[in-house]
Amino acid sequence: MRITGVRTYPVSNPTPGYGGSTFLFLKLETDAGIEGVGECYVATTAPRIVMAMVEDVVARHVVGREPFHIEATWRDVYASGFALRPDPTLVGVLSGIEMAMWDIVGKAVGKPVYELLGGRVRDRVRAYTYLYAEPTDTVDVYLDADLAAERAVEYVARGFTALKFDPADRYSSLDPRTPNLAELDRCERYTAAIRDAVGTKADLLFGTHGQFTVSGAIRLARRLERFDPLWFEEPVPPEMPEEMARVARATSIPIATGERLTTKYEFARVLDTGAASILQMNLGRVGGILEGKKIAAMAETRYAQIAPHLYCGPIVGAANLQLATCTPNFLILEGIGRWDGIHAELLHTPIELVDGHVIPPTAPGLGVELNEAVALRYACTNDELHLAPQYIADPT
């Protein structure tokens, strides 16, 4: 069996847009008639640019290969143009191709991917969700602690045992910065309201996006410690894990990071420096499923855990689920609400969520199939970026 080509599906995520503005899916074709689906998590360029990159990489390095030869294909793409270093755009493209190859392999042998990577170690996978705005909201759920507390209670009633929120305000091109007293007070009040509302029924996951300096992050962590969060996410920018390690040493809250990192090499620095004990690789950016398994193995030797990141479409979600199902040191899986809306429409068989846990599929490969009709209905025709941070001249 040989790979013969690729089709790409750029999708505009309709309102409310949970998971980002755009998704990019792909299907690898083979001469045996088996197709594999993947998703690229590339947030820095327009979808049409990423599509062209996928087509170029597949034509140069993938067409004519056996889909079982994942490792050799990975190395050839990673070395493309004499790169051989973590490049979030190239590796994002490679990630979607790699997970599509795994999908083909699983279908060829009639097994889920998790059974090919050591086998299932759990029958259900604990998941969390962000607190999301609802169409009926008249105020911003991230500016109103009382509304956030109400929403948290609703989610717990639906079965969620962990909730993430990021009330720390905007992130900008001038970060990192020192949070002012108003920001510190808001974060403390917000977290207190949610903890009071849910008690010990749910873990609290405090999210930031690298906005703060080391000293600023430590000041914030000290205010949050009494609420016992499960983690403090990306408290400083991820490019210098040595600095993030200073935050980790100064707080009792576990540090989580990884959504912006690519490949085992960047995660090795996180582990070597002690920057974080919870690794949040996104399989659509990090290098794919096998790369995620290698990172999990490195983490296992340090008693660190993985919590695969998901702020994109449901194909990455399906890949994350495969990894979580076969990984001993898995902690928790990020989901997009109840995996409903467009995240369900895009799949012929939606991902199954029961009482805050995702049920691993038994179908071969990734266990999901892209609904091409839905993908084409929401086809992206603009140059909107997947993520659009608020660039402000003066974040103070």
Catalytic sites, residue numbers? 209, 309
CB atoms within 10 A of CB 383: 11
Token pair 């490679």: residue? 94
Q: Dihedral of CA 339/342/345/348: which sign?
A: negative
Tokens read off for 169 = 């305000």
Residue type, 237: P
Q: Which of 245, 226, 227, 244 is nearest to 235 (CA)?
A: 244
Q: In Å, how far are 105, 154, 219, 358 from 244, measured between CA atoms?
A: 38, 34, 14, 31
Task: Identify the bridge partners of residue 128 per DSSP, sorted by sequence position.
Answer: 334
Q: Which two tokens stand for residue 112?
A: 């889920």
Q: Which structure tokens are listed for 73? A: 């294909």
Written as six digits, the tokens of 209 are 């996006």
**Burial letters 22-60, b for 16+ CB under 10 A, else e:** bbbbbbbbbeeebbbbbbbbbbeebbeebbebbbebbee
Six-digit token string for 130: 């962000």
Distance CA 44, CA 21 (A): 12
- d(Cα 165, Cα 144) in Å, to the nearest integer? 12
Give the CA angle between residues 141, 147, 150 to the nearest 5°. Answer: 125
By CB atoms closer than 10 A (0-12, 13-18, 19+), residue 259 is buried
